[in-house]
Amino acid sequence: MLSVLIWVPILSAAVIGFLPSSAIQQNRVRLVSLNVAGLVFLWNIFLLLKFDINTPGMQLQEYLPWNETLGLSYKLGVDGLSILMLLLNSLLTWIAIYGSSKETKRPQLFYSLILLVSGGVAGAFLTENLLLFFLFYELELIPFYLLISIWGGEKRGYAATKFLIYTAISGALVLASFFGIVWLTGSTNFNYDALPTQTLPTVLQIILLVGIVLGFGIKIPLIPFHTWLPDAYVEASAPIAILLGGVLAKLGTYGLLRFGMGMFPQAWSILAPTLAIWGAVSAIYGAVIAIAQKDIKRMVAYSSIGHMGYVLLACAASTALAIVGAVAQMVSHGIILAILFHLVGVVESKVGTRDIDKLNGLMNPIRGLPLTSALLILGGMASAGIPGMTGFIAEFIVFQGSFSIFPIPTLLCVVATGFTAVYFVILLNRTCFGRLDSQSAYYPKVEWSEKIPALILAVLIIFLGVQPTWLVRWCEPTTTAMVATIPPLEKAVTPQVALLNPSKSIAE
């Protein structure tokens, strides 16, 4: 059942990729891959319906022994944490393929790489075996390098190489930690539930956890390991940027939750204050740098860094509510980022520039891009956390869950949310409002195939904002169970304690 999500895309990728170009019309390739992605998405919905909300542990498991000497086994399972990630992956793959230009060069290679990536990411989310996770994690590397460097913007070679190097180091760090875990605990295989990491001395736990945090920290990304992101997101074409930001970044936070918090609860509670501050710093930094940008795509890229900071804060706080918020933020950010990158891509392809100083007046109903601008406003405001949309839900839960544990970092993150509104208002004010320049504003019209992905995402954003239960109900039991294993944080201050002893200081 679960294997379908991995192998249908990968096999389709192989078929599409290796088919001789005479056997299939080049302009049909997009349609074929769209259908494949659509089928995978529908299968995902089917699995969602089969998913039992009340069970905290792994469900729908599959197991195939593969290479016992290495400790590598094909073990798949899905729980509350990963089911939403899988849905996000297949939805965004479909959106990315739909939103890709019909005139993409070398379509067979392009779409087969996308499907390959999609299948690989699904595998990473599904696997219960550390080594298998690493294999799927590394599977992304070369396809994305190719996707950025062949179909990207001007500095694509530079951006793709930087991405490759950073992500390779990230993988190396993660692998080192995994090997460390297995070697130090003396277990025979890499299976997730078979690793008795609690038996290790605290110091070793902390060292291994630091390795995992750094490795996934490059992926998320966290300041100061983020420098690959702006270049990669900006140089990648819009569909690839959607996949990079919407799906690949989530791999980092998922890994942090599953392998960091999940395997090292004690070490996690020791590192938590540092992580909370790190998350707050990341959020503020991302927002402040975004305010200074002149390129709208770069602005959205930096906003992505900021929003991932909230996830880290919530993971650090590790209350039940906070982890729910972390998952909600991962999903919500994925959807919002997708709509933003898609619309920025439409603006760039119609107007020809991304420079905020040159863009103006796009809301003009006849000569401008009215629907695109309107949805850009919706996306921007969703990202800033306006109530009624999914961004608010996610951020509110994160703040509510983290405030009791880490009040100062939470407040800093709230400030960062305010900054998000600042740069999005700048972007929308300059891009959408104002006057069209009658010397140059002769833009082609936006086709329906470019509007539909944005409309679908907009509907989803509003729906989840108004009915948040559809976002959180899947993950609650799992996250509550995960949190139960974490010892209460030493620095925790519950509201009751604070009221009784106002003089008791927080930091110790």
Partner 1 sequence: MTATVTKAILPPSTHEFAPIIHRLEAGGAMLPDTPENLMQIIGIYKAYAVPMDFYWRDLLYIAERVFLDPFPFFKYFLPKEYLELHNHYAGDDADLRIWRGKATAHPELLAFMEKGETFKMPKLFHHLWHDRVNMEFAEACMRAMLWHRGMGGKFDPYLDTDEYKANADRAIKAYFQGNPVMLGLYKLFPEMFIEQVRQLSYYSNLGLFWEVMAPVFFEMSDRYDAGDIKTVPEAMNFLVNAIFAIAGRPIYHHLHIRGEVYEIIPKSCGFMWLYEAALPYVEAVFYRTAPFRGTKSYNAQAQQVPEDQKDFHYGILYADVFPVGTAGIPPTLLMQDMLHFLPQYLIDYYQQHCRGKDDMLIQLGISFQRSMYVVTSAVIQALRTALLYPLDDPNPRHLKANRAFFEAQLNRFKRPEARLRDVQSQNYR
State which residue, 390 or 431, has the beta carbon closest to partner 1.
431
State which residue, 153 or 370, has the beta carbon closest to partner 1.
370
Q: What's the rounded Cα separation, in Å, for the pair 21 and 111? A: 13
Least distance from partner 1 to the Cβ atom of residue 443, Å: 8
Give the helix ranges, DSSP H, for 51-100.
80-99
Least distance from partner 1 to the Cβ atom of residue 352, Å: 16
Least distance from partner 1 to the Cβ atom of residue 349, Å: 15
Instruction: Name 127's bridge partners.
Output: 76
My answer on whether omega of the bond before 143 falls inside 30° of 0, hence cis, is: no
Please say whether the beta carbons of 205 and 266 come within 8 A.
yes
Per-residue interface string for the shown chain with partner 1, residues 414-453, x marking contact by CB under 8 A: ---------------------xx-x--xx-xx--------
State which residue, 367 or 491, has the beta carbon closest to partner 1.
367
State which residue, 301 or 446, has the beta carbon closest to partner 1.
446
What residues have CB less than 8 Å from 75, skipping those under 6 apart? 61, 62, 63, 64, 127, 128, 129, 132, 191, 192
State which residue, 66 or 433, has the beta carbon closest to partner 1.
433
Q: What's the rounded Cα separation, in Å, for the pair 478 and 315? A: 14
> In a 3-state reduction of DSSP, which class is residue 237?
coil
Binders of partner 1 among residues 25 to 54 (CB under 8 A) are none
Identify the residue whose tokens are 């880490």: 406
Q: What's the rounded Cα separation, in Å, for the pair 82 and 58? A: 10
Per-residue interface string for the shown chain with partner 1, residues 332-361, x marking contact by CB under 8 A: -----------------------------x
Least distance from partner 1 to the Cβ atom of residue 427, Å: 20
CB atoms closer than 10 angstroms to residue 245: 29
Least distance from partner 1 to the Cβ atom of residue 350, Å: 11
Identify the residue whose tokens are 């039940």: 320
State which residue, 120 or 361, has the beta carbon closest to partner 1.
361
Nearest to 240 by CA among 163, 309, 347: 163
Least distance from partner 1 to the Cβ atom of residue 361, Å: 8
Least distance from partner 1 to the Cβ atom of residue 503, Å: 52
Per-residue interface string for the shown chain with partner 1, residues 364-403, x marking contact by CB under 8 A: xxxx------------------------------------
Least distance from partner 1 to the Cβ atom of residue 211, Å: 56
Dihedral pair phi/psi, residue 129, rounded to 5°: -115, 130
Please say whether the beta carbons of 88 and 331 come within 8 A.
yes
Least distance from partner 1 to the Cβ atom of residue 369, Å: 11
Least distance from partner 1 to the Cβ atom of residue 362, Å: 12
Q: What's the rounded Cα separation, in Å, for the pair 315 and 417? A: 18
Q: What's the rounded Cα separation, in Å, for the pair 317 and 323? A: 8
> In a 3-state reduction of DSSP, which class is residue 437?
coil
State which residue, 60 or 441, has the beta carbon closest to partner 1.
441
Q: What's the rounded Cα separation, in Å, for the pair 344 and 350? A: 10
Identify the residue whose tokens are 């309107």: 374
State which residue, 444 or 495, has the beta carbon closest to partner 1.
444
Nearest to 284 by CA among 311, 310, 316: 310
What tokens were used for 132? 């298998």
Interface size with partner 1, residues (CB under 8 A): 12
State which residue, 377 or 394, has the beta carbon closest to partner 1.
377
State which residue, 212 or 363, has the beta carbon closest to partner 1.
363
Residues in the chain: 508
Least distance from partner 1 to the Cβ atom of residue 290, Å: 27
State which residue, 130 or 363, has the beta carbon closest to partner 1.
363
Residue 26 identity (one-letter amino acid): Q
Q: What's the rounded Cα separation, in Å, for the pair 125 and 251? A: 8
Angle at 159 between CA 172 and CA 106, to 5 degrees: 105
Least distance from partner 1 to the Cβ atom of residue 429, Å: 13
State which residue, 339 or 371, has the beta carbon closest to partner 1.
371
Burial of 146: CB neighbours in 10 Å, binned 0-12, 13-18, 19+: middle
Q: Which spans of this chain sit near partner 1 (rule: CB under 8 A)?
A: 361, 364-367, 435-436, 438, 441-442, 444-445
